[in-house]
Amino acid sequence: MSKKQKWWHNAVVYQIYPRSFYDSNNDGIGDINGIRKKLPYLEKLGISVIWLSPVYCSPNDDNGYDISDYYDISPDFGTLNNMKALINEVKAHNIKIIMDLVVNHTSDEHKWFIEAKSSKDNKYRDYYIWRSGDKNTPPNDLKSCFGGSAWEYDVTTDEFYLHFFSKKQPDLNWKNPQMRQDIWDMMNYWIDLGIGGFRMDVIDLIGKEVDLKIKENGPKLHEYIQEMYENTLKDKDLLTVGECWGANPDIAKLFSAENRHELSMVFQFEHIMLDQNGEDKWNLKPLDLLELKRVFTKWQTELKNEGWNSLFWDNHDLPRIVSRWGNDKKYRVESAKMLAILLHGMKGTPYIYQGEEIGMTNIDFNGIEDFADIEAINAYKERISLGYNEKDVLKSLRAKARDNARTPMQWNDEANAGFTKGKPWYRVNPNYTQINVKQALADKNSIFYCYQKLIQMRKENPIMVYGDYELLLPEDKNIYAYKRTYQDKTWLIICNFYEHNVEFSLNGTGKILISNYENSCTDLTKGKLRPYEAIIYEWIQ
Choose from Ca ion, ligand GLC, none: what does 62 bind? Cβ within 5-8 Å by kind: ligand GLC
Helices (H) and strands (E) counted in the chain, each on its own, are 15, 20
Binds ligand GLC by CB under 6 A, chosen from 8, 21, 127, 165: 165
User: Angle, nearest 10°, between helix axes 249-256 and 289-302?
Assistant: 40
Identify which of 279, 61, 89 has the alpha carbon closest to the alpha carbon of residue 170: 61
Q: How far apart are the first and last CA of the chain?
A: 25
Cα-trace Rg, the chain: 23
The verdict on 162 binding Ca ion (CB under 5 A) reads no
25 binding partner (options Ca ion, ligand GLC, none; Cβ < 5 to 8 Å by kind): Ca ion
CB of 31 to Ca ion, least distance (A): 4
**Spatial separation of the C-alpha atoms in residues 261 and 179, rounded to whole Å:** 21
Q: Quick one: 25 or 505, whose CB is closer to Ca ion?
A: 25
Strands in 509-515's sheet, in edge-to-edge order, are 468-472, 479-486, 489-496, 534-540, 509-515
Q: Which does 204 bind (CB under 5 to 8 A by kind): ligand GLC, Ca ion, none?
A: none
When CB distances are held under 5 to 8 angstroms depending on the partner's kind, the choice from Ca ion, ligand GLC, none that residue 373 binds is none
Pick the closer one to ligand GLC by CB: 157 or 315. 315
The SS3 assignment for 496 reads strand
> Is 475 annotated in the active site?
no
201 catalytic residue (yes or no)? yes
Contact flag: residue 65 with ligand GLC (CB under 6 A): yes
Q: Residue 523, Cβ neighbours under 10 Å: how many?
A: 12
Q: How far is CA 485 from the centre of its chain?
A: 28
Burial (Cβ within 10 Å: 0-12, 13-18, ≥19) of residue 294: middle
Q: With H, G, I as helix, E, B as strand and everything else as coil, classify residue 115.
A: helix
Is residue 75 at the binding interface for Ca ion, with CB under 5 A as the rule?
Answer: no
Tell me which of ligand GLC, Ca ion, none is bound by residue 29, counting a contact when its beta carbon lies within the kind-specific cut-off of 5 to 8 angstroms.
Ca ion
357/373 with CB nearer ligand GLC: 373
Please identify which of the residues 201, 334, 375, 533 carries the catalytic annotation: 201
- 462 dihedral zone (left: phi>0; alpha: psi -120 to 50; beta): alpha
> Which residues, other chains included, contact 536 with Cβ-Cβ below 8 Å and sequence gap of 6+?
341, 345, 457, 491, 492, 493, 512, 513, 514, 515
Query: What is the per-residue binding string for ligand GLC in 300-319, x denoting contact by CB under 6 A?
Result: ----------------xx--
Instruction: For residues 113 and 128, give the distance between their C-alpha atoms in angstroms, rounded to a whole number.
Output: 7
Interface with ligand GLC in residues 265-294 (CB under 6 A): none
Of 16, 32, 102, 203, the one binding ligand GLC by CB under 6 A: 102
Identify any residues that bridge with 471 across adjacent strands, giving them in sequence order: 482
User: Smallest distance from the beta carbon of 77 to Ca ion, in angstroms?
Assistant: 7
Q: For the chain, what percentages of helix, strand and coil (3-state, to nearest 5) are there?
A: 35, 20, 45
Per CB under 6 A, 201 contacts ligand GLC: yes
State which residue has the least CB distance to ligand GLC: 65
Q: Closest separation between CB of residue 391 and ligand GLC, Å?
A: 26
Instruction: Say which entry of ligand GLC, Ca ion, none residue 23 contacts (CB below 5 to 8 A, set by partner kind).
Output: Ca ion
User: Which of Ca ion, ligand GLC, none does 495 bind, CB closer than 5 to 8 A by kind?
Assistant: none
Rounded to 10°, the helix 390-400/374-385 angle is 160
Find the catalytic residue in 23, 243, 328, 334. 243
Angle of CA points 26, 32, 33, to nearest 5°: 60
Q: Which residues ranging from 11 to 40 are in contact with Ca ion (CB under 5 A)?
A: 23, 25, 27, 29, 31
Q: Does 373 bind ligand GLC (CB under 6 A)?
A: no
Q: Which of residues 218-247 bind ligand GLC (CB under 6 A)?
A: 243
Pick the closer one to ligand GLC by CB: 62 or 533: 62
Instruction: CB nearer to ligand GLC: give 10 or 63.
Output: 63
Among all residues, which ones are annotated catalytic? 201, 243
Which residues are at the interface with ligand GLC (CB under 6 A)? 62, 65, 102, 165, 201-202, 243, 316-317
Which residues are at the interface with Ca ion (CB under 5 A)? 23, 25, 27, 29, 31
